[in-house]
């Protein structure tokens, strides 16, 4: 095996696994997104106030903020497959509690249970990293984004349709999909970590890889290493800035449609479906082609400025037709950034810390989604409907400027280092 490879799995052997991982992520996203258009109305039947509904929506992301790093780190220790099963099993229980709820506190309990074990995406990213070489990774990670896009196209629309028969029905279907997913994982998805460890000798070990002492599940030492490493720290900072900017869009597009464009809930559903289609095409087709001919860094340099411009355009969208057009470059930029930043992060991390790194990245993403739901609503109410888009563009531009200055300093430092030696 060559030095640049992550493991000993040949592409021909890994390809079938991609299909299974795609199905696992797809079923997970559909089961989750089925409830997105339904949960506020379901909570209202128990007398929930808008403030309570907002907290209920954010509770999942808040719990995921703490749970994802733990699940991701556990996947580095005991394997990816067991953590997939924990994730899906916990969601199954959460959906059953949701479907059988007789009071509002049971809805909060259901979202708490599901949020604490929700780490399917970082575990899937770690699994893909196990069975691909570094050259293949960006393209393979795009499959996860494609599953995400397809799931978010199908789930909300199907949930809205099923809610006509009662708000419990989408929850029951979500539980059923989790049961199917659990069986698929248990019977058809082989463990990837054992195979990845066969090639770990060729990877750069982490500073504590040889430690005989058990490491804590919420690994503060790992977080410190990642945030002080010259390789991973800039990527995590960039990821945090991008996650905040993109979450500001994700969490407030519905409010923007309602108060700025005066769209109905059904029309907003069509907008979400359009976004899902675009993400599926970008990550499932175009991005897989681009990653074969363009490096991660080159795609990053193209997509980051495009993201800034797209967010500015969204902030001042005059009508729904313009919005649908703007969503094309915005979806391309966001899909590309999600894939290449995560790809660069897996390549910059020691192999036995990939799951933990992905879990921390997931926690960062979840923390921004929890906060921007409240910040965006406040900006719309106090400043104007343009404010979330403008704030997101400013944050993304700051990240772009910071990375450009950092790259310039690195290039200037190299000749000086050579002179001193």
- HEC profile for the chain? CCCCCCCCCCHHHHHHHHHHHHHHHHHHHHHHHCCCCCHHHHHHCCCCCHHHHHHHHHHHHHHHHHHHHHHHHHHHHHCHHHHHHHHHHHHHHHHHHHHCCCCHHHHHHHHHHHHHCCCHHHHHHHHHHHCCCHHHHHHHHHHHHHHHHHHHHHHHHHHHHHHHHCCHHHHHHHHHHHHHHHHHHHHHCCCCHHHHHHCHHHCCCCCCCCCCCCCCCCCHHHHHHHHHCCCCHHHHHHHHHHHHHHHHHHHHHHHHHHHCCCCCHHHHHHHHHHHHHHHHHHHHHHHHHHHHHCCHHHHHHHHHHHHHHHHHHHHCCCCHHHHHHHHHHHHHHHHHHHHHHHHHHHHHCCHHHHHHHHHHHHHHHHHHHHHHHHHHHHHHHHCCCCHHHHHHHHHHHHHHHHHHHHHHHHHHHHHHHHHHC
Q: In percent, how much of the chain has pLDDT > 90?
A: 27
Q: What is the mean pLDDT of residues 269-292?
A: 79
pLDDT (average), residues 73-78: 86
Q: What is the pLDDT of residues 224-244, one digit of tens each?
A: 776 666 677 778 888 888 989
Any domain includes 261? yes
**Is residue 203 assigned to a domain?**
no
Query: In this structure, is residue 4 part of a structural domain?
Result: no
Kindly tell me if the per-residue pLDDT of 291 is higher than 70.
yes
Residues in the chain: 421
265: confidence class by pLDDT, cuts 50, 70, 90? low
In the chain, % of residues over pLDDT 70:
80
Identify the residue with better confidence: 12 or 66.
66
Range of the domain at 247: 11-194+218-413
In this model, does residue 419 exceed pLDDT 60?
A: no
pLDDT at position 201 over 80: no
The per-residue pLDDT of the chain, averaged, comes to 79
At residue 4 the predicted structure's pLDDT band, cuts being 50, 70 and 90, is: very low
Average pLDDT over residues 277-290: 80
Domain-embedded: residue 208: no
pLDDT, residue 396, reads 92
Higher pLDDT pick, 395 / 285: 395
What the block records as the tokens of 320 is 């729904």
pLDDT value for 6:
39
Give how many domains the chain has, as a whole number.
1
Residue 9 has pLDDT above 50, yes or no: no
Give residues with Cβ within 8 angstroms of 126, minimum separation 6. 72, 75, 76, 80, 346, 354, 355, 358
* Per-residue pLDDT reduced to its tens digit, 95-144: 999 999 999 999 999 999 999 998 888 888 888 888 777 777 766 777 77
- pLDDT value of residue 19: 83
> Could you give the CA distance from residue 408 to residue 418 in angstroms, rounded to a whole number?
16
In angstroms, how far is the first alpha carbon of the chain from the final one? 33
The yes-or-no verdict on residue 17 having pLDDT over 80 is: no
* Residue 305 resides in a domain: yes
Which pLDDT value is given to residue 326?
96
In a domain, 153, yes or no: yes
Higher pLDDT, 391 or 413: 391
Select, from the ranges 40-49, 115-124, 319-328, the one with the highest average predicted confidence (pLDDT).
319-328
**Is residue 212 assigned to a domain?**
no
- pLDDT of the residue at 418: 47
Residue 213 has pLDDT above 80, yes or no: no
**Phi, psi angles (nearest 5°) of residue 310:** -65, -40
Most confident of 114-118, 267-271, 374-378, 403-407: 114-118
pLDDT of residue 169: 92
Nearest Cα to 155, choosing from 337, 244, 328, 25? 25
Choice among 44-48, 132-136, 188-192, 336-340 with the minimum mean pLDDT: 132-136
310 pLDDT higher than 90: yes
Between 114 and 357, the more confident residue is 114
188 or 361, greater pLDDT: 188
pLDDT of residue 409: 53
The pLDDT of residue 7 is 42
Q: Distance between CA 28 and CA 148 in Å, rounded?
A: 9
Whole-structure pTM value: 0.65
Is position 213 within any domain?
no
- Here the CATH number for the domain that contains residue 87 is 1.20.1250.20
Give me the pLDDT at residue 2, please.
40
Lowest model confidence (mean pLDDT) among 134-148, 243-257, 305-319: 134-148
């Amino acid at each position: 095996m060559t030095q640049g490879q992550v493991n000993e799995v040949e592409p021909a052997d890994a390809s079938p696994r991609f299909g299974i991982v795609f199905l696992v992520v797809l079923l997970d996203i559909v089961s989750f997104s089925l409830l997105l258009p339904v949960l506020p109305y379901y909570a209202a039947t128990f007398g929930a106030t808008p403030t309570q509904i907002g907290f209920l929506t954010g509770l999942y992301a808040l719990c995921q903020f703490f749970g994802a790093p733990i699940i991701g780190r556990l996947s580095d220790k005991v394997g990816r497959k067991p953590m997939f099963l924990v994730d899906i099993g916990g969601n199954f229980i959460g959906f059953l509690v949701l479907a059988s709820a007789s009071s509002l506190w049971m809805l909060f309990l259901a979202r708490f249970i599901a949020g604490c074990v929700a780490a399917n995406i970082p575990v899937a990213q770690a699994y893909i990293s196990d069975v691909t070489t570094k050259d293949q990774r960006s393209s393979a990670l795009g499959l996860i984004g494609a599953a995400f896009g397809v799931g978010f196209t199908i789930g909300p629309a199907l949930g809205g349709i099923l809610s006509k028969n009662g708000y419990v029905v989408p929850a029951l279907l979500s539980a059923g999909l989790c049961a199917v997913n659990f069986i698929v994982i248990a019977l058809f998805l082989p463990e990837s970590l054992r195979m990845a460890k066969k090639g770990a000798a060729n990877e750069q070990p982490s500073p504590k890889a040889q430690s005989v002492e058990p490491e804590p599940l919420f690994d503060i030492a790992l977080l410190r290493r990642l945030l002080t490493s010259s390789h991973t720290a800039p990527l995590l900072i960039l990821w945090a800035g991008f996650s905040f900017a993109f979450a500001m869009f994700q969490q407030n597009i519905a409010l923007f449609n309602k108060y700025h464009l005066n769209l109905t809930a059904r029309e907003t559903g069509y907008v979400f479906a359009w976004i899902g289609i675009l993400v599926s095409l970008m990550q499932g087709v175009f991005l897989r082609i681009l990653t074969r001919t363009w490096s991660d860094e080159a795609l990053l340099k193209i997509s980051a400025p495009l993201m800034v411009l797209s967010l500015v355009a969204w902030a001042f969208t005059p009508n729904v037709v313009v919005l649908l057009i703007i969503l094309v470059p915005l979806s391309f930029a966001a899909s590309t950034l999600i894939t290449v930043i995560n790809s660069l992060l897996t390549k910059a991390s020691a192999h036995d810390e990939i799951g933990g790194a992905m879990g921390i990245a997931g926690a960062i993403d979840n923390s921004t989604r929890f906060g921007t739901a409240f910040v965006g609503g406040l900006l719309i109410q106090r400043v104007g409907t343009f404010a979330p888009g403008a704030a997101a563009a400013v944050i993304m531009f700051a990240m772009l400027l910071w990375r450009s200055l950092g790259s310039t300093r690195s290039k200037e430092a190299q000749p000086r280092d050579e002179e001193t030696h």
